[in-house]
């Protein structure tokens, strides 16, 4: 009896809650697997999917968003050994699970901590409330493959933003496997979209796209490339989060900076006694 030949897995993109191949039909090999090589068209399709998801995700209750992020943590823990088999250290997977839980806990607290009533000189109520920015493009850090990815996705979506993520070209398997987790975690399609392949092909398209409201350059290592992306982002005044240092410790307390950097503040005036 002939020895069985193992089936090589082909990892696809994650756009709008589905797993399409790149419209270009291209792929590249990573760790004995084929990974889709996203094109500029794929990047534009991902932005369309992210924009379509903004209304539903941002209007969901903060409690509901927290429940869904907690569900992601549950599903990720259930796939722990799968990530370990891909080369992600077990401790990193555990920390990534805990990080999802931590951000889930912030979902219904952001408005309380960063909103409130403002004192004004007049017979008015003046109330400020945080709101999501909208569609956020994210360049994932090359490492740690899973924890770095969670560290840029979770703070963006917890407040109601949707994201288009350009995964690290050298370590994409954690990203596309996380997409499988998200697809089974009650997260609405389009809230998170993941592109794999060359950053030079997809990220400039995202930086210059007029329907993208902010861009997180966390994983951009080349200063000249980062500068070019900031120039492109300036065309529609995108918010820009600059690259993080190569030695950034993603396992440390993340704080609230990444969440608050992707929030807008709406202020409402209302006359008293009405």
User: Of 264, 50, 259, 256, whose CA–CA distance to 165 is shortest?
Assistant: 50
CA pair distance 197, 184, nearest whole angstrom? 24
Mean pLDDT for the stretch of residues 113-127: 86
Which pLDDT value is given to residue 135? 98
pTM: 0.92
Which pLDDT value is given to residue 127? 86
* CB within 8 Å of 91: residues ≥ 6 apart: none
Which pLDDT value is given to residue 274? 65
* CB within 8 Å of 164: residues ≥ 6 apart: 43, 46, 47, 50, 135, 136, 137, 138, 193, 195, 206, 212
43-76 per-position pLDDT tens digit:
999 999 999 999 999 999 999 999 999 999 999 9
What does each C-alpha distance from 113 to 51, 116, 274 come to in angstroms?
A: 27, 8, 27
Token pair 């952001």 is found at 110
Mean pLDDT for the stretch of residues 84-95: 95
CA pair distance 150, 167, nearest whole angstrom? 11
Residue 156 — very low, low, confident or very high, per pLDDT cuts 50/70/90? very high
Which pLDDT value is given to residue 207? 97
127-142 per-position pLDDT tens digit:
888 899 999 999 999 9
240-260 per-position pLDDT tens digit:
999 999 889 999 999 999 999
CA pair distance 134, 58, nearest whole angstrom? 8
User: Of 191, 155, 210, whose CA–CA distance to 15 is shortest?
Assistant: 191
CA 89 to chain CA centroid, nearest Å: 21
Which pLDDT value is given to residue 8? 72
Q: Give the least confident one: 2-11, 123-132, 226-235.
A: 2-11
Asked if CATH classification 3.40.50.10300 holds for the domain at 11-61+131-264, the reply, yes or no, is no
Structure-model confidence comparison of residues 9 and 188, the more confident one: 188
Domain boundaries, the chain: 11-61+131-264
Which pLDDT value is given to residue 264? 92
Task: Work out the mean pLDDT of the chain and round it to a whole number.
Answer: 93
| Kind plus residue range of the DSSP H or E element containing 158 | none
Mean pLDDT for the stretch of residues 186-208: 96
């Amino acid at each position: 009896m002939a020895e069985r030949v193992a089936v090589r897995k082909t990892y696809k993109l994650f756009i709008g809650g589905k797993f399409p191949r790149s419209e270009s039909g291209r792929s590249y090999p990573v760790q004995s697997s084929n990974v889709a090589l996203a094109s500029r068209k794929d990047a534009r399709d991902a932005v369309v999917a992210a924009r379509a998801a903004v209304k539903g995700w941002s209007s969901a209750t903060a409690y509901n968003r927290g429940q869904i992020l907690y569900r992601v943590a549950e599903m990720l823990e259930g796939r722990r050994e799968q990530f370990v088999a891909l080369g992600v250290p077990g401790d990193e997977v555990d920390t990534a699970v805990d990080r999802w839980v931590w951000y889930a806990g912030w979902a219904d607290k952001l408005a309380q901590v960063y909103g409130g009533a403002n004192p004004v000189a007049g017979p008015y109520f003046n109330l400020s409330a945080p709101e999501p920015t909208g569609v956020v493009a994210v360049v994932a850090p090359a490492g740690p493959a899973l924890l770095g990815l969670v560290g840029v996705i979770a703070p963006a979506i917890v407040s109601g933003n949707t994201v288009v993520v350009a995964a690290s070209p050298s370590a994409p398997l954690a990203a596309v496997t996380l997409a499988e987790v998200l697809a089974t975690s009650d997260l609405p399609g389009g809230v998170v979209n993941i592109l794999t392949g060359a950053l030079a092909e997809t990220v400039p398209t995202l930086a210059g796209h007029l329907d993208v409201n902010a861009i997180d350059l966390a994983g951009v290592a080349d200063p000249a490339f980062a500068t070019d992306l900031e120039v492109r982002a300036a065309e529609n005044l995108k918010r820009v989060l600059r690259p993080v240092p190569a030695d950034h410790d993603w396992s440390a307390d993340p704080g609230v900076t990444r969440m608050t950097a992707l929030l807008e503040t709406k202020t409402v005036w209302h006359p008293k006694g009405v």
